[in-house]
Structure 1
Amino acid sequence: MKFRLATGMSILGLMLSCTSALGGTLEGPLQIVVSKDLQELKIYDGGVVVATSRVSTGKAGHSTPTGIFSILEKKRTHFSNIYDSAPMPFMQRLTWSGIALHASNSVPSYPASHGCVRLPNDFAKTLFSATRRGGHVLISDREVAPQRVVHAALFKPSIVVPDTPLLSDAGLRPALIEAGDKSVEVAMTEPKPSVIEPVVVKTEQDPIRILITRRGEREALLDLQTLLNTLGYDAGVPDGRHGKQTITAIRAFQLAEGLKEDGMVTADLVAAVYAKAGKGAPPNGQILVRQKFKPLVEEAITIREPEIALGTHFLLARAVDADKGTAEWYGVSMDNQLPQSTLKRLGITTEADASAPDALARTLDRLDIPEDMRNRISGLMSEGASLSISDTGLGPETGDGTDFITVTRKVQKADVSVTQGSKKSKKKKKSVTVIN
């Protein structure tokens, strides 16, 4: 087990802290990355490796899934309910379907487990004591490493400037300060100073988890139901279901507009409803935010050039400075080959190439996020906030009591005929900086 010491970092929210064998301490929003090809786990502080360990992932027939995960549950003593009550000490669950990090007496430098990630006992114990529920773990077929990314589309903490006679009259959010297991609400009642200076509403809070993805069938139907109600066709309370009341509302709209009266949801119907409501083109993307595993935000956004895959990316914010309104983002692009049926359903004709040096920047270039939504999320920013980007939305592993989980599929290079590097996707890019 190898650790490199660092100082001057603070621990906030769902941060990770590692203690070295020499007794020093590493603190900060660190990132755990498991590389299946190297059979190695690395912990990064920004773009710097601060700890490494050998691992054993799943053997043939029991492959460890790859993707973006978070720690859902922790148990010092745990026994498998699948494999003859096999001991799994210092277990950190990554999926409810049975994948976890855990200690083992057998950690050869090759795949040997039934799907879990085995760790040497000492390392697993130290890691267990340093993590909290919600900490992210990336698992990749090939080695990937976080890189510094600077881009206008990335979120920054907002600075609030008072414009009322007294700060006590301002609409401030309560600050929540962790005091053991209790939260204490702090009120601000000091009078406004004679010289107006920027004032930041600071909070000690669990970091938010952001997902940007394509708008699915449920979300599209919710929008359609809302617009039908606005136009006077009673589709009931929007629920994303193509039920009897929604079908009746669609048939009434079709009859009034001289369309085929079948009650079906088609691209032509959606376009007609949006045109009638004066709303332009329907949104094709969405942004979701969770905190403490609970949904906070779900809003529509626009993804330009939707025929090009977004790819699968993960970014973690560190050095979040609310006084300056700045944050450092470190990102990883991950291999993920979508099935042909998914590509067809999503209308994707150009696949993503995670190995391209500008893959993440190209994707960020194409996101149009409304300013009010950007301001709302910026107001929630804190140390360790994360952003996942994926074409496939909320997969089966994402549910109640989880963060956003994205399971990826290994790229079969022989099957990839078109990538983001094609002429079709070349365009003038915004100012982007990737710092190695």
Structure 2
Amino acid sequence: MRSTLGLGLLLLAVASTTVQAADGKAPLQIVVSKDKQSLVVYDGDTVVATSKVSSGKRGHETPTGIFSILEKSRYHESNIYSNAPMPFMQRLTWSGIALHASNSVPAHPASHGCVRLPNAFAKTLFKLTERGLHVVISDRQIAPQAVSHPFLFQPAAPEQQLLSDATLRPAMSQVASGAVEVAMSEPAPPSPAAPAVRADDTRAPIRILITRRGPRELALDAQAALNTLGYDAGVPDGALGSRSIAAIRAFELAEGREPKGRLTPDLVDVLFRKANLPPPANGQLLVRRDFAPLFEAPVTIAEPDVALGAHFYQFQDIDAATGKGSWFSLSLDNTIPKGMKARLGITVDDDALAYNAATRVLDRIQMTDALREKVEDLLAPGSSLTVSDMGLGPETGRGTDFVTITHPAKG
């Protein structure tokens, strides 16, 4: 069973049976409930600290979704609201949403969009957090739950070189300690299990987003297909500039079509068949680390007419004996705008309250073994996965993790 740690102990203790985050702290996460006007700090599914809050009032509602701490400042003044003081500010978006201390934290929404915290708690929380720590804001009260599913990534097994009849020259510190043990192809006598964790567990955690492919990803694939066929679309970047449009028109002319320079579904089908490529994937996996993109790759989403929903998973607590870690999930309510549903071909809504919603969505995602290995080779404690229909919203950009904004149901 997981043990409950006090704030002080949590900052100092490093359990001998688990691998902690890069700085030695447990990978925490914060959950803010707007209906309860509360904030809870979790280590996995264990409550570490709680506080009342005051979120945005009518007309200035605090957005819901999945955020991370982008910036911290002991004293900050608002550049939107007349230099209003925001002590112990922890920024969640570059557009102005943050956690911060306040002298006024009533038991109801009262801010201009930020999440107000009592002064003493804001100071304590400031010491407990670091940049990149996830903050989930929900309309209703939700809590992380331990989750297990074959899809969820696990660290790549460390390579172990097997030697036969090998002799090693001991280091000076080993000379007086007796024989030097090496890995042998023959079974060795029983000994305490050595940690099966990677040697580079001080790496920063990665952020993974799985979402539906949009016009940008389709354009990127089309550019690559055009280049394959000898039509110069430039370096594939997902932006259809003049060079790419000229390549599309040249392809259309070669196919006896009117040169409109647009990627219609029919034209995309012809283009990919001509390039001897499979149809474009309908999903995309993107990876960031330290607030910067690492790579992205296509994945397949089964039952594309069913909404993915908005699900967040955090990885931590790697067992030193097995090298395996634990995942904890949260499912948020999300209502997809009608126009977006039509564009994505979604006809069935997601239900975040449905039984096993966080695992059932994982059943629908397929990827290549090579892509899985690439992700697992980067996995570290504190890494996270978001599965969402919402894609790369405007709050995701330079100097951010993936920011997912959810939309409440209209009552």
TM-score category (smaller protein) = 0.7 to 0.9
- Superposed, which structure 2 residues align to 1:35-434 within 5 Å? 35-162=33-160, 193-195=183-185, 201-203=198-200, 204-321=202-319, 324-412=322-410
1:12 is aligned to 2:21? yes
Deviations 1:127-160 (A, max 9, x none): 0011111100000000011111111111000013
1:14 and 1:132, CA in 2 relative to 1: closer, same or farther beyond 3 A?
Answer: farther
1:408 and 1:193, CA in 2 relative to 1: closer, same or farther beyond 3 A?
Answer: same
Question: How far is 1:279 from its partner?
Answer: 2.0
Amino acid at match of 2:105: V
Question: How far is 1:196 from its partner?
Answer: 8.0
Deviations 1:10-64 (A, max 9, x none): 641378xxxxxxxxxxx52222000000000011222222211011111111111
Q: Which runs of 5+ in 2 are unaligned?
A: 165-179, 188-193
Alpha-carbon separation, structure 1, partners of 2:320 and 2:378? 11
Q: Corresponding residue for 1:417?
A: none
1:154 and 1:260, CA in 2 relative to 1: closer, same or farther beyond 3 A?
Answer: same
Identity rate, percent: 55
| Local SS of the residue matching 1:28 | coil
Amino acid at match of 1:400: R
CA contact 1:202–1:322 (8 Å) conserved in 2: no
Question: How far is 1:4 from its partner?
Answer: 5.3
Q: Corresponding residue for 1:176?
A: none
| Local SS of the residue matching 2:325 | strand
Deviations 1:239-263 (A, max 9, x none): 2222333223223323333444432
Alpha-carbon separation, structure 1, partners of 2:344 and 2:23? 34
Question: How far is 1:201 from its partner?
Answer: 3.6
Question: How far is 1:99 from its partner?
Answer: 0.9
CA contact 1:159–1:322 (8 Å) conserved in 2: no
| Local SS of the residue matching 1:326 | coil
Question: How far is 1:192 from its partner?
Answer: 6.6
Question: How far is 1:306 from its partner?
Answer: 1.2
Amino acid at match of 2:199: K
Amino acid at match of 1:42: V
Alpha-carbon separation, structure 2, partners of 1:126 and 1:240? 44
TM-score (norm 2): 0.86
Question: How far is 1:384 from its partner?
Answer: 0.7
Question: How far is 1:123 from its partner?
Answer: 0.8
Deviations 1:90-115 (A, max 9, x none): 01011111111111111111111111
CA contact 1:32–1:42 (8 Å) conserved in 2: yes
CA contact 2:19–2:381 (8 Å) conserved in 1: no
| Local SS of the residue matching 1:407 | strand
CA contact 1:315–1:331 (8 Å) conserved in 2: yes
CA contact 1:159–1:323 (8 Å) conserved in 2: no
Question: How far is 1:191 from its partner?
Answer: 11
CA contact 1:59–1:115 (8 Å) conserved in 2: yes
Alpha-carbon separation, structure 2, partners of 1:77 and 1:306? 47
Question: How far is 1:162 from its partner?
Answer: 4.0
Alpha-carbon separation, structure 1, partners of 2:246 and 2:287? 33
| Local SS of the residue matching 1:128 | helix
Alignment: residue pair count: 377
| Local SS of the residue matching 1:151 | coil
Alpha-carbon separation, structure 2, partners of 1:225 and 1:196? 54
Question: How far is 1:276 from its partner?
Answer: 1.9
Deviations 1:256-292 (A, max 9, x none): 3344443221111111112222222211111111111
Alpha-carbon separation, structure 2, partners of 1:262 and 1:63? 43
Alpha-carbon separation, structure 1, partners of 2:186 and 2:112? 62
CA contact 1:14–1:207 (8 Å) conserved in 2: no
Question: How far is 1:305 from its partner?
Answer: 1.4
**Mean Cα displacement is larger for which, 280-289 or 316-325?**
316-325
Q: Which runs of 5+ in 1 are unaligned?
A: 16-26, 167-189, 414-436
Amino acid at match of 1:75: S
Alpha-carbon separation, structure 2, partners of 1:293 and 1:337? 27
| Local SS of the residue matching 2:109 | coil
Amino acid at match of 2:108: Y
Question: How far is 1:350 from its partner?
Answer: 1.2
CA contact 1:56–1:111 (8 Å) conserved in 2: yes
